[in-house]
Amino acid sequence: MTEVESNLTLISATKSFDGWIKRYQHYSNTLKCNMIFAIYLPPQAETNPVPLLWWLSGLTCTDENFMQKSGAQQVAAKLGIAIICPDTSPRGVDIPGADDSYDFGSGAGFYVNATQEPWATHYQMFDYVAKELPELVFANFPLNGKESISGHSMGGHGALVLALRQPGRYASVSAFAPIVSPSTVPWGQKALSGYLGDDQQAWAEYDACALVKKGESKQPFFIDQGTADNFLTEQLRPELLEQICYQRQHPLVLRHQEGYDHSYFFIATFIDDHLRYHAQHLS
């Protein structure tokens, strides 16, 4: 057994649509703490390697929210797609202030590599999701090497940024109500200043609008946004992404879903569309 393989402890296994939802704990050398992730393995994984969809969750979420609330397993089972849900931040690292607010610290890693103490020691979420966790799961599960990525809110921000900064890696990328310009909205400004300091150039490396403007990737985006989302005008501002994508001729499908809010009811309504979108690109 390799070092990668030995660093994995099964917490639970639940059968769903002839596949399995499994939760694992492992020690992360990147984050310097124990981490938990969830994986859905469709029934096809019993006999052949399958493609993978990364799902990045939003503020306050853990690895469990999507698996329990999205209803994604039925269509994922039909399409033969595995889904992996990382946690949204390190846990239990005893940093003063980590639990003082919902939008910074625990549950709010923002998928960045922090440079400011006390966060820099543990909050290296970009490298964890981009490097360490993929190495672990590809060594341990029947995956065929094809990857797509999606996410919600803060996780939608993470999905867009990970795809834009790694051109060609993901077969497709989608998002639900993503934070598209964290440099210009309160959630993002709080997180980026706290984790990265005042360097605006460092912020731009985690800002989808800034990365589209930079022009190093033409990764098409498929995005759903609810029109009744409480965070639409102050925190999400999809019109900023729409504008820069138009200016830079960056492929974008942005659907405005009438009457839908920011909740998992919204995600559950349209997740099948996203899974089928990814399946087309992963096949």
- 229 is a catalytic site residue: yes
Question: Are 53 and 275 contacting, i.e. CB atoms less than 8 angstroms apart?
Answer: yes
Catalytic residue among 152, 262, 274, 278: 262
Question: Are 12 and 24 contacting, i.e. CB atoms less than 8 angstroms apart?
Answer: no
Report d(CA 59, CA 2) in Å as an integer: 34
Question: Are 34 and 7 contacting, i.e. CB atoms less than 8 angstroms apart?
Answer: no
Question: Are 16 and 68 contacting, i.e. CB atoms less than 8 angstroms apart?
Answer: no
DSSP reduced 3-state for 16? strand
Burial readout 99-137 (b: 16 or more C-beta within 10 A, e: otherwise) = eeeebbbbbbbbbbbbeeeebeebbbbbebbbebbbebb
Catalytic residue among 28, 148, 153, 181: 153
Report d(CA 237, CA 214) in Å as an integer: 19
Report d(CA 24, CA 270) in Å as an integer: 27
Catalytic residue among 229, 250, 274, 278: 229
- 274 is a catalytic site residue: no
Beta strand pairing call for 50-56 and 33-41:
unpaired
- 261 is a catalytic site residue: no
Report d(CA 36, CA 64) in Å as an integer: 10
From the list 185, 192, 173, 64, the residue with the least C-alpha distance to 126 is 192
What positions carry a catalytic annotation?
153, 229, 262
